[in-house]
Amino acid sequence: MSRIFEVPTKPWDDYKLYNHTTITINPGVTVLTGCNGTGKSTLMRLMKEQLEREEIPVYLYDNLHDGGGHSMQMFLNNGQIAELATMACSSEGEKINQNIGQTTVRLGGFVRKNSNHDELWIMFDAIDSGYSIDNIVELKRDLLQTILKDCASRNQTVYIIISANSYEMVAGESCLDVWSGDYISFDNYDEYKKYIIKTRTRKDKRYV
């Protein structure tokens, strides 16, 4: 079942961020697209607020707050010195993998806790930030597909919303242009590159 969200065109009353007043989200994976600063994260939070008002279970991973620094602080607070030391000595990619591992554990708890609900929402904000191509491919194959199959086995409708910048994340997925509210797809990297540059040009006009 598709779900419709109301969207304010000017969330902050200073400039027009969206060229639509509603968006329709379909079950499965939806990737929010546009260059940095076009309102992907804001749109995700607007959706989350509406879902919470309707008491629908929603899980949000925010790379800014749940990323490396957050995980290291969590290990420190919990006295997990070995884990803290491992992360401190890890490369950026390894730190991201550890963060995703921790997130997967929390996400599993969220899914189990809400197994009696017909509808689940899972949101990943900038989860591909700093991630390598091979890791993104594995993330889509292993984590996202596992979530979809697990929920399908329980006849749960799951919506996975991702804000992304990398072509590897949008490739082959159902993408939503945050400005127009339309679903789009990309056949190749050059097509996606032109789209991102176009959204950047539109964004820059705000400040002229």
Q: What is the reported pLDDT for 207? A: 63
The closest of 121, 159, 120, 146 to 26, measured between CA atoms, is 159
CATH code assigned at 162: 3.40.50
Closest of 28, 15, 6, 32 to residue 196, by C-alpha: 32
Q: Give the number of domains in the chain.
A: 1
pLDDT at 42: 93
Q: Is residue 136 part of a domain?
A: yes
Report the 10 Å Cβ neighbour count for 18: 21
In a domain, 37, yes or no: yes
Residue ranges with strand state E in 26-179: 28-33, 58-62, 119-125, 157-163, 174-177
The answer to whether residue 73 is domain-embedded is no
Q: How far apart are CA 16 and CA 9, in angstroms?
A: 6
pLDDT tens, residue order, the chain (208 aa):
899 999 998 887 778 899 999 999 999 999 999 999 999 999 999 999 999 999 999 999 887 666 555 555 555 566 666 655 555 555 555 556 667 777 788 888 998 899 899 999 999 998 887 778 888 888 888 889 999 999 999 899 999 999 988 999 999 999 999 999 999 999 999 999 999 999 999 988 876 5
Q: Name the residue among 68, 51, 64, 168 with its Cα closest to residue 125.
A: 64
Q: Which domain holds residue 199?
A: 3-68+78-205
